Amino acid sequence: MNELRVYQLGQLDYATSLTRQVEFVDQRGPNTPDEIWCLQHNPVYTLGLAGKAEHILNQNYIPVYQTDRGGQVTYHGPGQLVVYLLLDLKRKAVSVKKYVHSLEQALIDMLEGLDIFAERNAGAPGVYVNGEKIAALGIRIRRGCCYHGISLNVNMDLSPFAGINPCGYPGMVVTQLANHGKHIDVNEAALALIPFMAKELGYENYTWLEKTQLTDHKNNLKPEALLTR
Question: Mind telling me the catalytic residues?
Answer: 167
Other CB atoms within 10 Å distance of the CB of residue 147: 22
Q: 79: phi > 0 → left, psi -120 to 50 → alpha, else beta; which?
A: left
DSSP string of the chain? ---EEEEEEEEE-HHHHHHHHHHHHHH--TTPPEEEEEEEE-SEEEE-TT--GGGBS--TT--EEE-SSSSSEEEE-TTEEEEEEEEEHHHHT--HHHHHHHHHHHHHHHHHHTT---B--TTS-SEEETTEEEEEEEEEEETTEEEEEEEEE-S---GGGGGB-GGG-TT--B--GGGGT----HHHHHHHHHHHHHHHTT-S--EEE-GGG---TTT---GGGTS--
Is 146 in contact with 52 (CB distance < 8 Å)?
A: no
